Each structure stands twice: as C-alpha cells, then as structure tokens.
Structure 1
Amino acid sequence: MTEEKSPFMHFVSIKDIRQEGKVEHTLSDIILITICAVLSGHDTWKGISDYGRKQRDFLLRFGFSGKTSPSADTIARVMGTISPKALQKAFIEWMKSCHELTDGEVVAIDGKTLKGSYNRATDQAAIHMVNAFATANGVCLGQSKVDSKTNEITAIPKLLELLDISGCLITIDAMGCQRKIAQKIIDKNADYLLAVKGNQGRLDEAFDNYYRPSMLQHFDGDSYSSQEKSHGRLETRCALINTDLSVLGDLAYDWPELKTMGIMVSVRQEGKHAEESDISVRYYISSKALTAKELHDATRSHWLIESMHWQLDVGLKEDTCRIRVDDRAEVFARIRQMVLNLLKQEKSFKAGIQRKRMMCAMDQEYLATVLGSLS
C-alpha cells in the first residue's frame, strides 16, 4: 500500500527518552495511533490500543512502522514520558504553519480547568490550562499549563511569548488585567483589550465615577448598540467609547499606550420591563483606538472561547477524563486540542464535534481528509 504524506512532520522534534535498543514501538507510531483513535471517538488508553490493533492497515498509510500495535500500558507509559513543553512547541509550530492570523484578528485568552485530573488520593490539584483562541476560525493557537503554585497571571506572558500575534487584538478577562501582561502584548506588536474589575481597584473606581446609566440615552462619544431575540429573551448590547483619558487622572499613564476606555452594557429582558438584575455593565481598557462597534464585536468574540471549552467537555469528554498520572493529563489535553482543531478545520461535513468523530470511526477516507489538515 502506498504511504501517504505523513501529517506528523511537526512532531518529529519531540525527543523519545527511552533506551533506543529497547524500543519496540516508536514515539511517532504511538502519537499517530493516539491522534487517530481520539479522532475516532476513543478517550481511554485501552480504547486507543484497541484502535491500533484493528486499524493497522489504515495506519500504514500514514507511516506506521510497527509490526504489532502497542498495549494500553505501553501507550500510557510512553505518552507520560513526552515533554509537555516539547509537545506545546510542536503544537504551536503546527498552528503557525496552517493558520495565518489576519491583521486586527481577535485572539481571546482564557483558562480552563481539567476537572478529571484532580486526584483526591494523592491530594493532586486539578490541572489548569490557559488557551489562546483565534476567534475568526475558532481554533486554539496554543496552550500553557498554569503552575500549581502560581496562577494565570504568570502563565499568560509565557504563552504570549510563544505566539506570533503581531497586529492582533488580544482580549483577556479581568484576571489578565495586569500592567506586565499589557506590556508583553505591546512588545509583541499587538494590541490589548482588557476587562477591568475589582482586582484593579483604583481603575475600577475611576470607571464607576465616570459611568452613568443616563449615558445610554445621551452620550457625546462614539456608541453602538445591537438587539438579538432568542428563546423568548431579548438581549440588548450597548457599547460606549471614551478617548478622553483625563477622567482617569494619573492612572492613564500606568498602562502602556492606553488609548481607549470602553463600557459594555448588556440587558437581558424576558418580560416587558428589564429588572435591575437583568443589566450588566463591564469596563474595558485598550491600547487600540477602537470604535464602539469594534468594542462591541471584540467583546462578543471573546466569549466564543467558551464554545471551545464546551466542545472539549461535550464533544471530547475532557471534564470526565480520569487520566492524571505524571504528565499524561497535560499531554492528553494537548492531544485533545489538536483533535478539536483538526475537526473544526475540516469543513466538508457540516456537523458537530461528536458526529464528526463518529464519521471518522465509520469512514476511513473522511478520517484521512481530517488528518490532511495537519500536513
């Protein structure tokens, strides 16, 4: 059978730490089996091993070199030896090769906890990952694990350093509203749009002193509003832009290249009149001279990252996954992210993630098509 172009060229740099003379199944073979099996609906080491045994002829098309398929224990053990940082680097290089960010594209950064990685017996905390999400095409650009002794504030700059985000607008929730993070984004030739909350007390207070509900009817600056009705509920979103930073006083000089204050007011109304609890007001700062419509669209795009988290949990069963020994949970999280990107980049079959996985299981040619986007 003719071997097709290997879709795993981006992962050949990952070092196999096993003794060369004792290796029966190569690292590339195990990565190949794992990605194909997860694409086809398997979420356990045993399921991945079963797939390898039953689909050897298909795997040969993509460079599989083993005479037999590895056992579940072998797959688990070898995946646990992979350097998460090396896999992260390979993942990011792959995304750079197949996804070109456009000027001004919104890249949302947010964290997600792998709930199933918590181990009560050893008091091992659940792993928390920070994801960078290209909102236009709905793919993850990279991930960074949050160290157990720190938080997202230290993980975000490390992830930004690895990404090519020049010209993009980086959106982060209030946790990431930090001067050092803003400066890192500027240093990467990008712009920031950061949510402001109580963790920046003086800044939050300055917004409170500036904003008045009457601005929704009478506002001198740029404004934009939209309405959307869904499931019997009317949602109105109003964006307000202020470029007169004198209202911030000396605080305006604390943030690198700050140009815009933004306010988003959302009203979710189910009856004839909106209650106070139906109204939310969010504050933002940005290094970009945003229009009100750009603020409206960017803040809405940011929350698309939640759809990615939902797809990981529902379509790829991330929260129920009990893989948690050594680095396996982190490595498997990155495998799931690769699989999700592959499935989302394949556009010919209009279906959700679960149906696409089932199609991969039923139709080898469709699976080959999905794998082709990794080349």
Structure 2
Amino acid sequence: MSGRKLKIFGHERLEWLKKYGDFDNGIPVDDTIARVVSNIDSLAFEKMFIEWMQECHEITDGEIIAIDGKTIRGSFDKGKRKGAIHMVSAFSNENGVVLGQVKTEAKSNEITAIPELLNLLYLKKNLITIDAMGCQKDIASKIKDKKADYLLAVKGNQGKLHHAFEEKFPVNVFSNYKGDSFSTQEISHGRKETRLHIVSNVTPELL
C-alpha cells in the first residue's frame, strides 16, 4: 500500500485512530508516511502481523488453507532498479483472511518460501492447498510434520510424477469411475467447469 493510500485511509478513519494516539496536526503527508514505513523492520513487522492474525482468527479442524504467491501490483520501481515485490501468503477460505505471508525476491523462490511460511502457522487437522509450484516432497513432508493434510497440483514441472498420473488416470477413467468420487460444476469466465474428486490407493510411482 502506497503512502498516498495510507493517507486516505487515515483521513477516512481519523476518529478511530485517535483512540490510539494524538493526531493534533491531522494525518501526515504522503512522503512522511512513506519514510516511516521504509524504516520499519520488515521481519519484525511480519512476525507481529502473523501473531495478530492468529489472535483474531481461531483456526478450526478441517479448514481449507490456500497457499499462493502473488506479485504486488505497482511494486516494481524501474528508476531505482528495484524489482517487484513477490509475497507468498496463507489464506483462510472459511473466513477470507490472510493468516500469514512471507516476502520472496522472485516467483521462482516460492519453493523455499513455502516451508518458511508453514513453520509460522498452526495447521493441525487442516487441508493445505498449493499450486504446482509447491508440489515438492519436502513441502509435503513439512505439512505432514505439522499434522495437516495437503492437496497439491501436479503439472509438467514434475515430469515423472505427471506422466505417472496420466498413465494411472487416463481421461476415459473419469467418465465411469468405480471408486468413491465427488463432482462439482460451475460457470466461470464464460465457460463451464467440472471438477471431479476421486479417492484412490497410492501406488509407488505416485510417491
């Protein structure tokens, strides 16, 4: 969030902010806010943010927690040769809040950032969903160590595993699957999407 947006936030909530400090001169200008924010210890702020979110939000058993990486829009500064900021966040689907987040230098660093984020969170008995970037043995093991379950996407970045899935689950298998399954349908972005969830034994080639 830019200094300008923080200033707008302050003006709109000035009476509420006065409960926590003196604002005899009103809300500071953009540059002052930006200077203060730039001097905050990012690691200390990250730790306090996660502790605050965990106090505000009680995680219940069976909750879905989605972990995803996003590049912050407008964070790239060409003039200062400063790359865009990339954040890996844990999002509670149940309550619509971010439970924690970790900054990375680039999207390619998500693999190392995800275990770091997992270490910060209480995940016991919850389902952790991650896209194909997080389909790694170390990440799956970390989630198991936290006594949680995982749902990981499998794509071409894991060539051997992806091929094993295609061999075990060809498309024609899903049209008349014999085991336990559950399907949903919805219209999204002008197209009809069908999702099929199946239960299957784990074979060695899928490990």
1:236 corresponds to which residue? 194
Change (3 A) 1:237 1:50: closer
1:160 corresponds to which residue? 118
1:218 corresponds to which residue? 176
1:206 corresponds to which residue? 164
CA distance in 2, matches of 1:125, 1:232: 34
| Structure 1 segment 190-201 matched on structure 2, within 5 A | 190-201=148-159
1:64 corresponds to which residue? 21
Aligned-partner residue type, residue 131 of structure 1: S
| Structure 1 segment 72-83 matched on structure 2, within 5 A | 72-83=30-41
1:88 corresponds to which residue? 46
Structure 2 SS opposite 1:196: coil
Q: 2:131 aligns with which of 158, 173, 179?
A: 173
Aligned-partner residue type, residue 191 of structure 1: D
CA distance in 1, matches of 2:157, 2:140: 15
1:122 corresponds to which residue? 80
Change (3 A) 1:65 1:196: same
Q: Which has the larger share of helix?
A: 1
| Structure 1 segment 314-329 matched on structure 2, within 5 A | none
Aligned-partner residue type, residue 155 of structure 1: A
Q: 1:151 aligns with which of 97, 100, 109?
A: 109
Change (3 A) 1:230 1:173: closer
| Structure 1 segment 182-197 matched on structure 2, within 5 A | 182-197=140-155
Aligned-partner residue type, residue 189 of structure 1: K
8 Å CA contact 1:114, 1:128 repeated in 2? yes
Structure 1 SS opposite 2:70: strand
Q: CA deviation at 1:237?
A: 2.6
2:95 corresponds to which residue? 137
1:101 corresponds to which residue? 59
CA distance in 2, matches of 1:219, 1:44: 52
Aligned-partner residue type, residue 161 of structure 1: N
1:110 corresponds to which residue? 68
Change (3 A) 1:78 1:202: same
Change (3 A) 1:170 1:149: closer
8 Å CA contact 1:169, 1:191 repeated in 2? yes
1:258 corresponds to which residue? none
Change (3 A) 1:119 1:213: same
8 Å CA contact 1:147, 1:155 repeated in 2? no
Q: CA deviation at 1:160?
A: 0.8
Say which is worse superposed, 146-155 or 226-235, in terms of deviation. Answer: 226-235
Q: TM-score, normalised by structure 1?
A: 0.50
> 5+ residue gaps in structure 2?
none
> 5+ residue gaps in structure 1?
1-42, 253-375
How far does the alpha carbon of each residue in 1:281-315 deviate from its partner, in whole angstroms, 9 at most, with x for none? Answer: xxxxxxxxxxxxxxxxxxxxxxxxxxxxxxxxxxx
8 Å CA contact 2:132, 2:155 repeated in 1? yes
8 Å CA contact 2:2, 2:34 repeated in 1? no
8 Å CA contact 1:53, 1:68 repeated in 2? no
The count of corresponding residues between Structure 1 and Structure 2 is 206
CA distance in 1, matches of 2:12, 2:191: 50
Structure 2 SS opposite 1:111: strand
Q: CA deviation at 1:105?
A: 0.8
Change (3 A) 1:179 1:224: same
Aligned-partner residue type, residue 46 of structure 2: Q
How far does the alpha carbon of each residue in 1:30-88 deviate from its partner, in whole angstroms, 9 at most, with x for none? Answer: xxxxxxxxxxxxx653464477579755532x121354243332221111111111111
Structure showing greater relative contact order (alpha-carbon pairs closer than 8 Å, 6 or more residues apart): 1
